[in-house]
Amino acid sequence: MIALIQRVRRASVDVDGECIATIGTGILALIGVAAGDDAAQADRLLERVLTYRIFPDEEGRMNRDLRSTGGGLLLVPQFTLAADTRKGTRPGFSTAAAPDLARRLFEHLQQQAGLRHPRVACGRFGADMQVSLVNDGPVTFLLDTARAPD
């Protein structure tokens, strides 16, 4: 599984002109599900998102994680993160999970996040979403369970 995480001052998701999710300071995580991903990888990805130290400490160094700041977490499904972009000028999606599997794993991630962090908001799987954010820094990292060391 893949998460493109961004430290934000605020972020929101609109669907059909209605705001369905919003956070203040925290992390916006765009989530991609690849073929072969499973619940264990979703759990591992969530742990990394919650504990990745991207917030400044008293000295301005990135030493604090989302849990220690109490910030919000906005999870947004984005299947294009799992695209194969290695050649040509058009992405291929054979590396992305089938929609049913991707939905189940995103819902699993969403449920586990709600159990482990007090401030979680989510985009809507399969919807045409408009995501707004104020990136803080900017600070952006790509987390990928397929490329992460054990």
Residues marked active site are found at 78-80
Identify whether the C-beta of residue 7 lies closer than 8 Å to the C-beta of residue 29. Answer: no
Both structure tokens of 15: 């669907």
CA pair distance 139, 136, nearest whole angstrom: 6
- Closest listed residue to residue 28, CA positions, set 43, 51, 9, 2: 9
